[in-house]
Amino acid sequence: MSKSVAIQMDPIHLIDVNGDSSLMLALEAQRRGHELFHYLPGGLSLKNGKVSARGNPLAVRYDASDHFTMGAEEVVDLSTADVVLMRQDPPFDMSYITATHILEHIHPETLVVNDPASVRNAPEKLFVTHFEGVMPETLITTDRREIMAFREEHKDIIVKPLFGNGGAGVFHIKPDDENLTSLLEMFTLMFREPVIIQRYLPEVRQGDKRIILVDGVAVGGINRVPADGEARANMHVGGVALKTNLTKREREICDIIGPTLKEQGLIFVGIDVIGDYMTEINVTSPTGIQEMNRFDGSSIETLIWDAIEARL
């Protein structure tokens, strides 16, 4: 049966057709006969307890030169939609948090994917701290003395903003690096939040795996190998995606976190694993569908929509 699907995302004309996961979700929804409606986060409104969005009916195609068609602009009562896909990119800032509060007014009568309250309560670098035995040694603080003591203990560390994304602001501070104090001063000027410090994992040179879980079950992964001279493995900064199989330890990590993801309505999740440790749980707008499909011959968007329709 046809459903109405609203997609809250960034401008669709700016996406990378050959790598975008939201496009794959839209294509699969359309293939199933569902009607699509696209709106920007700025088009979301809450008026007298009613949630609406200003946007456009949408049709999509897998064509790099012509991947979408928009209908005439209209305002839609989102309580009349069957599904809202919350797919705008981070940063996870107050604008993002406000959107989760607004969408909470219609969920679960209108199924919001992922659950907006759970998204709000699961910032990537904080959510992972709730699971024992899966993280490298980690410190979250603004206390300089704690940071310096952590560095003294572990020598080789990673410093990054707590609510950053896409590898932005990630620094590898080696034992002989004299820039840590200046870096912390810069972070203090830029952010009010604590920073996150982790023991550097040299295994990152062999790759930083992105593993996708659908309704709490691991369905695939890719290995992202950093470029020479780069500490980050994110593909938009030169990381190379390679085919991979999940190790026993990686499946163990997925088994540890999977039941909580399912219980909290986090249907589409991407985790990052370096060596034997998970560093992030991505619940806001996970990516990686197209790369995994190419390597494995899979159709992860189909699995995601199967999980969504099962909840409907």
What is the tens place of the pLDDT at every residue in 149-172? 999 999 999 999 988 777 778 999
Q: How many C-beta neighbours within 10 Å does residue 171 have? A: 18
Task: Please determine, for residue 3, whether its predicted confidence score (pLDDT) is greater than 60.
Answer: yes
Q: Is 311 a catalytic residue?
A: no
- pLDDT tens sequence across 88-119: 998 888 999 999 999 999 999 999 999 999 99
Query: pLDDT tens digits, residue range 38-67?
Result: 999 999 999 999 999 999 999 999 999 999
Q: Strand 195-199's sheet: what is its strand order?
A: 138-141, 195-199, 157-161, 171-173
Residue 171 and residue 251: Cα distance in Å, rounded? 29
Whether pLDDT at 237 is above 70: no
Mean pLDDT value across residues 22-39: 98
Active site residue 156: no
Annotated catalytic, 282?
A: yes
Q: Give the number of other CB atoms < 10 A from CB of residue 299.
A: 16
The verdict on whether 165 is a catalytic residue reads no
| Amino acid identity at 136 | P
Query: Looking at residue 236, what is its pLDDT?
Result: 59
- Active-site residue (options: 28, 224, 250, 301): 224
* 201-216 pLDDT per residue, tens: 999 999 999 999 999 9
pLDDT at residue number 176? 93
Reply yes or no on whether the pLDDT at 11 is more than 80. yes
The 8-class DSSP code of residue 114 comes to S
Clarify whether 280 is annotated catalytic.
Answer: yes
DSSP β-bridge partners for residue 283: none
- From the candidates 208, 272, 291, 301, give the one annotated as an active-site residue: 272
pTM: 0.93
How far, in Å, are 13, 143, 300 from residue 218 at the CA level? 31, 37, 11
**Active-site residue flag, 125:** yes
